[in-house]
Amino acid sequence: MFGGEGPAVPISRRDFIGAAALGGVAASAGLGADEGKTGLPQRLLGRTGARVSILAFGSGSRFLLYDEEKGIAALNHALDLGINYVDTAYSYGNGVSEQRVGRVMKTRRKEVFLATKVPDRDADKARRTIEGSLERLQTDHVDLLHIHSLGDESDLAAIESPQGVLRLLYKLRDEKVTRAIGITCHTDPAVLAKALDRHDFDCTQMALNAARAGMASVAGELGPKLLGRMSFESVALPVARRKLMGVIAMKVFGQGKLVGPAAPEMLLRYSMSLPVATAVAGMPKPEQIEANVGIARSFQPLSATEMENLSDWISAGYKSELDRFFQHHVDA
């Protein structure tokens, strides 16, 4: 359960991004029966065996900008358009997001791959939170249960402790309360890589965007080219790939900080061109749902050169600031 497979070693930017672009092409080739109804491509979520839409509905802070009824209508519309992956968490409004999602799950649960997240590090407290999550979501099980927002080494130690939440997640997976377990991170790719290497996660959700989100601690010391080697893309993603985990991209738009420096279409295409199953996006306006679904339906992977050029240009001006922001960002 806790056996590692060797340390995470950053690989060259060019070698990895070339493989990433090819992986995106392979993963998105062809439409299956379900996606053929809506034209929204699906990909395999790692070893879970589930096929999920390449665009996922983010139910975090952007979702909570809707009032309740409009938010529920927005989620229903997203499902009608072919999105089948819904991402929520207890921390999103202290259960408010889960409660709203639950109103939709009451009638559409079978249509959705449902993921939620638990913020607690203590197993007893986490169990109580998860029981509340299931009640709010109006279901007896979720498809994916994440440990929410891995931080530094001390946070990982708390998760791994004898009283920690990780052992509870293994138990809940065995009990079929959740189909799969995972862990999310936007803070430090090296700590995430260590967690993925040590433990039996089915999935992981990490910050994967064209600014190559990564380590704030070295942001002032290295140029953009070297900083790219200290990113989630080059440090944590290869570990997940080696262990056949389902990978979910998040922070695609950098909490909105990258929109303007780059077109939303290019940002979304960049993340979808990586070897990921889906990209989570918060869409606080109905027209953004329509626009992002349109991008996903017509998705063509960026070439390795296009990805590298876009990433280098954005990173030169925005990576250091974005890394510092994510180091202290609370995912709520």
Q: Which pLDDT band, with edges at 50, 70 and 90, does 9 fall under? A: very low
Question: Which pLDDT belongs to residue 27?
Answer: 44
Question: Which pLDDT belongs to residue 2?
Answer: 24
Q: What would the DSSP string read from start to end of 118-135?
A: E--SBHHHHHHHHHHHHH
> Which of 181-190, 260-269, 307-316 has the largest mean confidence?
181-190
| Cα-based distances in Å from 41 to 81, 222, 247, 292 | 11, 38, 16, 13
Instruction: Tell me the torsion sign for CA atoms 171, 177, 178, 184.
Output: negative
- Residues above pLDDT 90, as percent of the chain: 73
**pLDDT for residue 218 is more than 80:** no
Question: Which pLDDT belongs to residue 17?
Answer: 54
Q: What is the mean pLDDT of residues 220-239?
A: 72
Q: Distance between CA atoms of 122 and 53, rounded to whole angstroms?
A: 33
**pLDDT for residue 274 is more than 90:** yes
- Residues above pLDDT 70, as percent of the chain: 84
**pLDDT for residue 8 is more than 50:** no
**pLDDT for residue 6 is more than 60:** no
Over residues 100-159, the pLDDT tens digits come to 999 999 999 999 999 999 999 999 999 999 999 999 999 999 999 999 999 999 999 999
Tokens 């780059």 appear where?
A: 262
| Cα-based distances in Å from 285 to 73, 75, 108 | 11, 11, 22
CA torsion 189→190→191→192, rounded to 10°?
50
